Amino acid sequence: MILDASLWSADLGALRTEVAAIGTLADSLHVDVADGHFADSLLFFPDLIESIRDAAAVPFHFHLMVEWPMPFLKVFGRPGDRVTVHAEARHPAECLIILRGMGCGCGIALKLESRLEKLDPLLPLADSVLLLGTKVGVKGQGLDPSSCDRIRAVKQQHPGLPLYADGGIRRETVPLLREAGADAVVPGSLFFGNSDRASVSDWIRSL
């Protein structure tokens, strides 16, 4: 299983140190970018990410929780990074095409309250899908009961498409998400709040 560690749960006052300490315990560093409109939060800004890039041993995964993702693509994305845009955002198909041309991984995300059918026209353009199991842009929520069924439904229709589960990632929910078909999880406090991050990494990757 892929470990996509959410930097939102890292020590934000020592982010460069946190990124360097992670090393390769994570497969990628998940960066939530929020505009205060599409999601209530305001996260992360480009100069901050540039200041920690050289401390990272693994690629970044930018989850653009923004209404207008187009201006953010080249600001954040670099070849080898993954950039995920929302199906509910403006012009997601065009964004996915641009990301492919940039040499980035191109993911499509869906809010918990959105119907799965909204993904259908976009999945042929994407190389991964991210399903939220909680309300977008709010930390500390429990996994919604419908999440596993939603993952299972997408995985059955698109078995070869890597599927990321984001939100409500707890020790008791990770095995359920894996059984439903998730290929990756986005742990926050489960990873950063543990004094033995190596053991958490080994456990998630073993599933």
Q: What is the pLDDT of residues 2-18, one digit of tens each?
A: 999 999 999 999 999 99
pTM beyond 0.85, yes or no: yes
* Res 139: pLDDT: 86
Q: Are 47 and 68 within 8 A, CB to CB?
A: no
Ramachandran area for residue 80 (φ above 0: left; ψ -120 to 50: alpha; else beta): left
Using CA atoms, how far apart are residues 148 and 14, in angstroms rounded to an integer?
Answer: 34
Q: Are strands 28-35 and 42-43 parallel, antiparallel or unpaired?
A: antiparallel
* Res 89: pLDDT: 98
What are the structure tokens assigned to 72, written together? 């953010």
Residue 27: which pLDDT band, with cuts at 50, 70 and 90? very high
Q: Does domain 2-206 have CATH number 1.10.3720.10?
A: no
Please state the rounded mean pLDDT for residues 54-78.
98
Residue 140: which pLDDT band, with cuts at 50, 70 and 90? confident
Burial per residue of 58-95, b for 16 or more beta-carbon CB atoms within 10 angstroms, e otherwise: bbbbbbbbbeebbebbeebbbeebbbbbbbbbeebeeb
Annotated domain spans of the chain:
2-206
* Res 138: pLDDT: 87
Q: Which of 135, 107, 110, 130 is nearest to 39 (CA)?
A: 135
CB atoms within 10 A of CB 53: 13
